[in-house]
């Protein structure tokens, strides 16, 4: 189950999609919108994706997990659009007979999502906004107005 959606992520549905009687272990990762980074208080986030390339890259990660751990009970759901603090942006669920493989595959998948999937996060904070991953582009206006990109 590979999903990119503007809707709220339903952890239970995603988890149920990987459960099977032969699986003794399910490892689930929830990525949530934090209220702060190292530098500042965050008000909300916005996610944008390049589709369908992002979908294809997620499917590639599922293939890698299948090849490396023999695990096919695997799900990723990524949220797009506007997220408030506490909202889930990412759910990864991995089930396998034993827990070691499920932990490894889950951590691996998240690392890969942050490497190869064309999805971008914009943080909105008091007085500005910034596309994360390209912090040199931070556009904080001193007058407190929200920067709307551009030069």
Residues of the shown chain interacting with other proteins in the complex, contacts defined by CB under 8 A:
31, 47-50, 52-54, 56, 78, 89-90, 110, 113-122, 131-134, 137, 148-151
CA distances from 76 to 2, 3, 40, 43, 124 (A): 5, 6, 29, 25, 25
Q: How far apart are CA 123 and CA 43, in angstroms?
A: 8
Shortest distance in whole angstroms from residue 88 CB to its own copies:
9
41 binds, options its own copies, other proteins, none, Cβ within 5 to 8 A by partner type:
none
Shortest distance in whole angstroms from residue 93 CB to its own copies:
9
Q: Where are the beta strands (DSSP E) in 17-142?
A: 25-32, 42-49, 74-79, 81-84, 88-96, 119-125, 128-131, 139-140
Task: For residue 149, give the 3-state DSSP assignment.
Answer: coil
Binding test (CB under 8 A) with its own copies, winner from 110, 116, 132, 138? 110
Shortest distance in whole angstroms from residue 150 CB to its own copies:
29
Per-residue binder mask for its own copies (CB under 8 A), 9-48, x = binder: --xx--x---x-xxxxxxxxxxxxxxxx------------
Shortest distance in whole angstroms from residue 31 CB to other proteins:
5
Q: Are strands 42-49 and 2-5 parallel, antiparallel or unpaired?
A: unpaired
143 binds, options its own copies, other proteins, none, Cβ within 5 to 8 A by partner type:
none
CA distances from 143 to 87, 128, 146 (A): 29, 9, 9
| Residue numbers at the binding site for its own copies (CB under 8 A) | 11-12, 15, 19, 21-36, 85-86, 97, 99, 103, 106-107, 110
């Amino acid at each position: 189950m590979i999903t990119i959606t503007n809707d709220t992520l339903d952890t239970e549905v995603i988890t149920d999609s990987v459960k099977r009687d032969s699986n003794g272990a399910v490892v689930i990762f929830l990525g949530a919108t934090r209220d702060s980074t190292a530098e500042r208080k965050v008000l909300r986030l916005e996610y944008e994706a390049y589709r369908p390339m992002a979908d294809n890259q997620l499917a590639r990660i599922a293939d890698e997990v299948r090849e490396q751990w023999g695990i096919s009970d695997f799900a990723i759901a990524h949220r797009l659009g506007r997220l408030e603090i506490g909202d889930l942006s990412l759910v990864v669920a991995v089930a396998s007979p034993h827990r070691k493989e499920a932990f490894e595959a889950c951590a691996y998948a998240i690392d890969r999502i942050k490497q190869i999937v064309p999805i971008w996060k914009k943080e909105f904070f008091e007085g500005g906004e910034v596309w994360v991953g390209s912090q040199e582009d931070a556009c904080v206006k001193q007058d407190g107005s929200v920067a709307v990109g551009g030069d």
